[in-house]
C-alpha cells in the first residue's frame, strides 16, 4: 500500500514561506500536501487570502502543528527554536529556515536535544539540492581543477535589504536577527562545509557604519576541512541587487557558482563559460525547491535524504555569529 502524503504545515508567510508554499502546492500531491498556514501578522494572512485563497488558514501555531506531519518554520529567527521544540515534542519532523536561532548556545543545545530524542530535522539550505552544485561536483570529479587548493566566496548588494525584502526591513536590517551574513553568507558557508569539511574561523572583521543597522561589510579567513577559504561581503559597491560568487581553484583550473545557480568553468584565456544547462535563479529555484520537498517528505518518513542537518546549520551559525561580533 502506498504511503499517505506527508502533511506539511507552514508557520510564516513572508518571502520564504510564500516560495515554499507555492512549490508545495505545485508538488506531487501523492507525496506532499499543505496542511495549513499561520502567520501572527494579520496583514500577512490577508495577503495569503488574496494570493492563494484555496490554502487553509489556521488560527495558531498550535493548530498548524496539530494538523501536520512536518512543520516548516519560516518565521523570523528568534522564534525558530520555540516552534521546533514544540513540533518535536509532538512527534513531527521539522524543516526550518536558517539560522536555527539568534543564540548560538541555544542552537547547539537544541541540536544535542534533537540527537538524543532522535527527532527528525533539516534546515533549508537549498544548495543541498542544487543542480549547479551537482555540476561543480562533476567537474571536480572529472579533474577539471585538480586537487582543490582554495575557495573564495564573494557576496555583494546594491542595498540591504534587497528590493523584494523591504517589507521585512524591521528585522532584516537590524543587528539582532538580520544582515546579509546571516541571510546570504550562511548559504555559501554551508556549501563550503558540505563540499570540503568542517569550518574553522581564523580571522574576521565587520563594519557597522549605520547606527542600529546590520553590517555593511565583512571579511573573513577560515578553513573548510584543510582548505583555505576567503569570504568577503559588502553593501553598496555593486549596482546588482544580489550578486555572489563561490569560486573553487586548483592547479589545473577554476570553476565557480555565480549568482546562486550558474555553474561556470574558466577557460584558458581567463573567460568564464556557463554549463550548457545553466539557468538563472528565478527559473532554477522551482526545480531546486521540488528536490528539497521530496527530501522533506523522505525526512518525515525516516527515509534517506541529504538535507542540511541541524548540526551543519549550528556549525555555520557559530561562524556567522562570530564574524558579526567583530
Q: Which pLDDT tens digit goes with each residue over 257-287? A: 999 999 999 999 999 999 999 999 999 999 9
Q: Are residues 51 and 196 in the same domain?
A: no
Helices (H), the chain: 15-25, 42-51, 61-67, 80-89, 104-117, 131-141, 169-172, 180, 186-196, 281-300, 310-325
185 part of a folded domain: yes
254 part of a folded domain: yes
Q: Are residues 231 and 152 in the same domain?
A: yes
236 part of a folded domain: yes
1 part of a folded domain: no
DSSP bridge pairs for 250: 253
Q: How many domains are contained in the chain?
A: 2
What are the grid coordinates assigned to 238, written together? 555593486
145 part of a folded domain: yes
Let me know: does 80 contact 101? Beta carbons within 8 Å.
yes
Q: Are residues 260 and 163 in the same domain?
A: yes
User: For residue 326, what pLDDT is reported?
Assistant: 85
User: Domain of 149?
Assistant: 128-280+316-325
Q: Are residues 160 and 35 in the same domain?
A: no
Q: Are residues 206 and 69 in the same domain?
A: no
Q: Are residues 34 and 116 in the same domain?
A: yes
Q: Are residues 41 and 110 in the same domain?
A: yes
Q: Are residues 136 and 152 in the same domain?
A: yes
The CATH code of the domain that includes 97 is: 3.40.50.720
DSSP bridge pairs for 253: 250
Q: Are residues 51 and 165 in the same domain?
A: no
19 part of a folded domain: yes
213 part of a folded domain: yes
Q: Are residues 114 and 162 in the same domain?
A: no
227 part of a folded domain: yes
User: For residue 167, what pLDDT is reported?
Assistant: 85
Q: Are residues 158 and 268 in the same domain?
A: yes
Q: Which pLDDT tens digit goes with each residue over 71-95? A: 999 999 999 999 999 999 999 999 9
Q: Are residues 187 and 258 in the same domain?
A: yes
Instruction: Count the alpha carbons within 13 Å of 247 in the hemisphere toward its beta carbon.
Output: 16
* Burial of residue 48, with CB atoms counted within 10 A of its CB: 0-12 exposed, 13-18 middle, 19 or more buried: buried
Angle, in degrees to the nearest 10, between helices 310-325 and 186-196:
130
What are the grid coordinates assigned to 271, written together? 573567460
Q: Which pLDDT tens digits describe the chain residue by residue (326 residues)?
A: 468 999 999 999 999 999 999 999 999 999 999 999 999 999 999 999 999 999 999 999 999 999 999 999 999 999 999 999 999 999 999 999 999 998 999 999 999 999 999 999 999 999 999 999 999 999 999 999 999 999 999 999 999 999 999 888 999 999 999 999 999 999 999 999 999 999 999 999 999 999 999 999 999 999 999 999 999 999 999 999 999 999 999 999 999 999 999 999 999 999 999 999 999 999 999 999 999 999 999 999 999 999 999 999 999 999 999 999 98
Distance between the two ends of the chain, CA-based, in angstroms? 56
Amino acid at each position: 500500500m502506498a504511503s499517505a502524503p506527508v502533511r506539511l504545515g507552514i508557520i510564516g508567510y513572508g518571502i520564504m514561506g510564500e516560495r515554499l508554499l507555492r512549490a508545495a502546492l505545485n508538488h506531487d500531491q501523492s507525496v506532499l500536501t499543505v496542511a495549513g498556514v499561520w502567520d501572527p501578522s494579520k496583514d500577512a494572512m490577508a495577503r495569503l487570502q488574496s494570493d492563494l485563497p484555496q490554502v487553509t488558514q489556521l488560527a495558531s501555531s498550535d493548530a498548524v502543528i496539530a494538523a501536520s506531519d512536518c512543520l516548516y518554520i519560516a518565521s523570523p529567527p528568534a522564534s525558530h527554536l520555540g516552534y521546533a521544540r514544540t513540533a518535536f515534542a509532538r512527534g513531527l519532523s521539522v524543516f526550518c529556515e536558517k539560522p536555527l536561532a539568534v543564540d548560538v548556545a541555544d542552537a547547539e543545545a537544541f541540536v544535542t536535544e534533537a540527537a538524543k530524542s532522535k527527532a527528525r530535522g533539516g534546515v533549508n539550505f537549498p544548495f543541498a539540492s542544487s543542480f549547479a552544485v551537482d555540476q561543480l561536483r562533476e567537474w571536480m570529479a572529472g579533474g577539471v581543477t585538480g586537487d582543490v587548493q582554495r575557495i573564495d566566496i564573494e557576496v555583494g548588494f546594491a542595498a540591504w535589504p534587497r528590493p523584494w525584502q523591504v517589507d521585512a526591513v524591521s528585522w532584516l536590517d537590524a543587528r539582532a536577527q538580520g544582515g546579509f551574513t546571516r541571510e546570504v553568507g550562511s548559504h555559501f558557508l554551508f556549501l563550503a562545509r558540505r563540499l570540503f569539511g568542517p569550518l574553522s574561523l581564523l580571522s574576521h572583521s565587520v563594519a557597522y557604519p549605520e547606527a542600529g543597522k546590520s553590517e555593511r561589510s565583512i571579511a573573513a579567513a577560515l578553513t573548510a576541512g584543510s582548505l583555505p577559504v576567503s569570504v568577503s561581503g559588502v553593501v553598496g559597491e555593486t549596482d546588482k541587487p544580489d550578486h555572489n560568487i563561490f569560486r573553487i581553484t586548483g592547479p589545473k583550473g577554476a570553476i565557480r557558482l555565480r549568482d546562486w545557480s550558474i555553474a561556470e568553468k574558466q577557460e584558458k584565456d581567463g573567460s568564464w563559460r556557463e554549463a550548457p544547462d545553466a539557468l538563472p535563479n528565478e527559473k532554477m529555484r522551482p526545480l531546486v525547491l521540488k528536490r528539497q520537498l521530496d527530501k522533506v517528505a523522505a525526512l518525515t518518513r525516516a527515509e534517506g535524504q541529504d538535507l542540511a542537518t541541524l548540526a551543519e546549520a549550528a556549525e555555520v551559525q557559530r561562524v556567522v555569529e562570530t564574524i558579526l561580533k567583530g
